[in-house]
Structures are given as C-alpha cells and as structure tokens.
Amino acid sequence: MVAAPGLHGHAVRRAVGAYCLGRVATVTNGTIRLDDAGVVLNGNPVWQHVTGSFAPGSMTAIAGANGAGKSTLLRAILGEVPLASGTITRDGLRQQDFGYLPQARNIDRAFPISVTDMVLSGAWRQTGAFGGADRQVRLRAASALRRVNLNGQADRMIDALSAGQFQRLMFARLLMSDARVMMLDEPFTALDAPTTQDLLELVCEWHGQGRTIIAVLHDMRQIRDCFPDTVLLASGHATWGATSRILTPEKLRQAYAPAQGAGQATWP
Ligand SMILES: Nc1ncnc2c1ncn2[C@@H]1O[C@H](COP(=O)(O)OP(=O)(O)OP(=O)(O)O)[C@@H](O)[C@H]1O
C-alpha cells in the first residue's frame, strides 16, 4: 500500500487497519476542498464563488493585494469565519490537524509568559489545556527551540525577544503542534534575510514530510521559487492553480493595480 503524501503514521495505520478488517475503508484523505465558497463580512462580500482544492502534501501560496481577503480565506478554512455560500470540506481532518500562525501584528507579545512555556503551549492538544508537560514533551520543546536557533533563550520572557526571535519562537510552537496542515499568515513579513531563509527552510522541511502548507505571502519571487501552487485573490474572486500559470504579469497587474501604493507586494 502506498500512502498519499499527506498521510502520517497514525492515519496510515488506521487505513491499513480498516483494510485488514475487510470493512469499507474510510481512508483519511486530507484534502481541503472549497466549492463555490463565499464570505460576507459586515454586509460586504470579501470573495465569492471560490472553487479549488488543497491536496494532501501540497504547498500553496495565497497572494493578493491588501484587503483582498487572504487572512479571511485561512480563517474560513479553519472554520473561524462562517461561509455565506458554498462549502469547505476537510476530508478526514480534525481541528487538531491544523497548525495556524496568525499575522505577527495580531499576537499579543506583552503577555507575561516565558519562551519555554510559549513553546509548550503549542503541544496543548497532546497535554490538554491545563495538563502538565511530561519529560518527553519538554525534550521536544527544547529540540524545537534548537531547531529554530533559539537555544539559550528558553528562560527569557517573550516580550524581551526581538521581532525575528519572536517569529522563530512561533515556528518552534508550530513544530510542537505536529499538525498535518500548516497555515501561515505572512510568516516572513519584516524579517531579515537570514531569519527568512531559516524559517523558509523549515517550511520546506514540513512540506518534505508530507504536510500540507498554505501560506499568505507578499513576495512573488519567494512564491515562484518555493510554492508550486498559488491562489491569487483579486476583485472578490480567486484564480487558483500552478504558480507559473497564476503569477503572470497580466494577472498580477489586475490583482494589484487597484491597491497601487498601498500594497506591499514585490516581484522581480
Ligand atoms: N472581522 C471583520 N469584520 C468586518 N470586516 C472584516 C473583518 N475582518 C476583515 N474584514 C474585511 O475583510 C476584507 C478582507 O480582509 P483580510 O484581512 O482577509 O484581507 P487580507 O488580504 O488578508 O489583507 P492584508 O494583506 O492587509 O492582511 C477587508 O476589507 C477587511 O476590512
């Protein structure tokens, strides 16, 4: 039996178990599918008639001008924003299968918590909201901090970190979630080149492990270099497909022209 790229150990075991028992197997697929989906906020349509799917193990960028509805798309996939029309199906995915990195500006960095406790909070699905972390979870937390080059920072409070160190911490926290789908909202905004490079390598590593990656990005070169698929949001609609087919000069002009001067997008 060959596992689909997004299938992790436990899912494979479940699928194999069902097969061996001779039942009709409900294979844990992992596809996220939007079918004619639309969101209306405060009476204003954000985007409508969005149809497409994120295959398990795919790596997709979400692009578009400021206000095009990129964050709303992530939050709709998470089920945090209700749909006004259409459907989003998450085949075989439970809430704990999603890891989410919100935009840095939406995170309260003044919250009095240490680096270690912040990383450990990423494992709450394993430890429970009030559960203590056992030795194994603490070892994983230390390893996650090493992976993002934050060793030596474990006892500091998070408000003492630089913006780049804080984003490394948020990636370590995501590592702890061990989620099958990693959703990242502008993960590299305002970071220096070495930090961006390190964190982008981690995202590629997750992709190599078969996780599904969905990231809101503003840097077209980054998208072209690393993301095989793109959803481009413009004028309330989505163009979805292979990055080379979506990020054409014409489509980019159409997507960013109305926001000229306000957008942060960069492209070669
Ligand atoms: N909670 C809300 N209530 C009402 N309108 C909202 C809400 N959240 C977002 N919007 C509106 O929905 C639209 C899309 O917002 P969203 O944050 O998804 O855009 P975005 O593409 O992620 O923008 P940016 O690149 O600036 O982060 C905007 O017009 C925004 O004002």
Task: Report which protein residue has its CA nearest ligand 1's atom 1.
Answer: 41
Q: Measuring from atom 28 of ligand 1, which residue has the nearest CA?
A: 67
* Residues 84 and 101 sit within 8 Å (Cβ to Cβ): no
The answer to whether residue 158 is domain-embedded is yes
Cα dihedral sign for 221, 223, 229, 233? negative
Token pair for 128: 């429970």
Whether residues 237 and 115 fall in one domain: no
CA of 86 to the centre of ligand 1 (A): 19
Question: pLDDT tens digit string along 119-144?
Answer: 999 987 776 655 567 888 899 999 99
Counting from 1 in the atom list of ligand 1, the atom nearest the Cα of 81 is: 1
- The whole domain housing 115 covers 106-178
Residues 174 and 214 both lie in one domain = no
**197 shares its domain with 87:** yes
Ligand 1 binding pocket (C-beta < 6 A) is 41-42, 46, 64, 66-72
Write out the two tokens for 98: 């999603």
pLDDT confidence of 265, banded at 50, 70, 90?
Answer: low
Distance 113 CA to ligand 1 centre (A): 29
Distance 73 CA to ligand 1 centre (A): 10
Burial 155-185 (b: 16+ CB within 10 A, else e): eeebeebeebbbbbbbbbbbbbbbbbbbbbb
**From ligand 1's centre to the CA of 71, what distance in Å?**
7
pLDDT digits (tens, 9 = 90+) for 14-50: 332 222 232 333 445 999 999 999 999 999 999 999 9
Report how far residue 95's alpha carbon sits from residue 78's, in angstroms, rounded to the nearest whole number.
Answer: 8
Q: 96 versus 28: which is more confidently predicted?
A: 96
Q: 88 and 113 share a domain?
A: no
Q: Are strands 212-216 and 44-54 parallel, antiparallel or unpaired?
A: unpaired
Tell me which of 71, 100, 101 to substitute to probe ligand 1's pocket, judged by most ligand atoms within 8 Å of the beta carbon.
71
Q: Is 123 exposed, middle or buried (0-12, 13-18, 19+ CB in 10 A)?
A: buried
Over pLDDT 90: what percentage of the chain?
Answer: 74
Which residue, judged by its Cα, is nearest atom 18 of ligand 1?
Answer: 69
Taking the model in full, what pTM does it have?
Answer: 0.86
Report the separation in Å between the CA atom of 46 and the middle of ligand 1, taken as the mean of its atom positions: 8
64 C-alpha vs ligand 1 centroid, how far in Å?
A: 12
Mark which of 127, 160, 178 sits at the end of a domain. 178
| Ligand 1 centroid to residue 240 C-alpha, Å | 20
Give per-residue pLDDT as tens, 236-258: 999 999 999 999 999 999 999 85
Residues 184 and 251 in one domain: yes
Where helices occur in the chain by DSSP H, the ranges are 9-20, 70-77, 115-121, 124-127, 135-147, 163-177, 193-208, 220-226, 243-246, 249-256
pLDDT given at position 53: 97
Which ligand 1 atom is the nearest neighbour of the CA of 75?
18
Calculate the CA 85 to chain-centre distance.
23
CATH of residue 188: 3.40.50.300
Among 101, 118, 106, 97, CA closest to 161: 118
Residues 168 and 70 in one domain: no
ipTM of the complex: 0.97
Between strands 85-90 and 229-234, the pairing is: unpaired
DSSP 132: P
Q: What distance in Å separates the CA atoms of residue 256 and residue 199, rounded to the nearest whole number?
A: 27
Placement of tokens 């992790």 in the chain:
8
- Separation of alpha carbons 25 and 91, rounded Å: 14
As a whole number, mean pLDDT of residues 82-110 equals: 92
- Contacts for 20 with CB less than 8 Å, ≥ 6 apart: none
Q: Confirm if 214 and 77 have CB atoms less than 8 A apart.
A: yes
Residue 187 and residue 73 share a domain: yes
Q: Is residue 37 part of a domain?
A: yes
Q: Is 189 found in the same domain as 69?
A: yes
Residues 118 and 216 in one domain: no
CA of 67 to the centre of ligand 1 (A): 5
Q: Which atom of ligand 1 is nearest to the CA of 69?
A: 18
